[in-house]
Amino acid sequence: MSALFSPISLGNLKLKNRIVIAPMCQYSAVDGQATDWHLIHLGGLSLSGAGLLIIEATAVEPIGRISPADLGLWSDETEAAFAKVLTSIRQYSTMPIAIQLAHAGRKASSQAPWDGGQLISPDHGGWETVAPSPIPHGPTETPPLALNKTGLDRVKQAFVDAAIRAHRLGIDAIELHAAHGYLMHEFLSPLSNQRDDEYGGSLENRLRFPLEVFDAVKAALPENYTLGIRISASDWVTGGWDVEQSIVFTKALEQRGCSFIHVSSGGVSPLQQIPLIPGYQVEFADKIKQTTSMPVIAVGLITEAEQAESIVANGQADMIGIARGILYDPHWPWHAAAKLGASVDAPKQYWRSQPRDQKALFGETKIGAR
Over residues 197-233, the pLDDT tens digits come to 999 999 999 999 999 999 999 999 999 999 999 999 9
Q: Out of 182, 225, 280, 328, pick the active-site residue.
A: 182
Q: Is 266 left (phi over 0), alpha (psi -120 to 50) or beta?
A: left
DSSP reduced 3-state for 30:
strand
Model-wide pTM > 0.85 = yes
Mean of the pLDDT values across residues 235-253? 98
Residues 262 and 22: their CA atoms lie apart, in Å, by 9
Over residues 114-163, the pLDDT tens digits come to 999 999 999 999 999 999 999 999 999 999 999 999 999 999 999 999 99
Query: Rounded to the nearest 5 degrees, what angle is found at the Cα of 180, between the Cα atoms of 174 and 183?
Result: 75
Over residues 84-125, the pLDDT tens digits come to 999 999 999 999 999 999 999 999 999 999 999 999 999 999
DSSP 130-148: EESSS--SSTTSPPPEEP-
In Å, the largest CA–CA distance within the chain is: 75
DSSP state of 345: -
Element housing 37 (H / E): helix 36-45
Per-residue pLDDT at 357? 87
Q: Is 225 a catalytic residue?
A: no
Residues 334 and 354: their CA atoms lie apart, in Å, by 10
Inter-residue long-range contacts of 198-203, CB under 8 Å, 24+ positions, other chains counted: 199/132, 199/152, 200/132, 200/133, 203/245, 203/248
Which superfamily, per CATH, for 8-345? Aldolase class I (3.20.20.70)
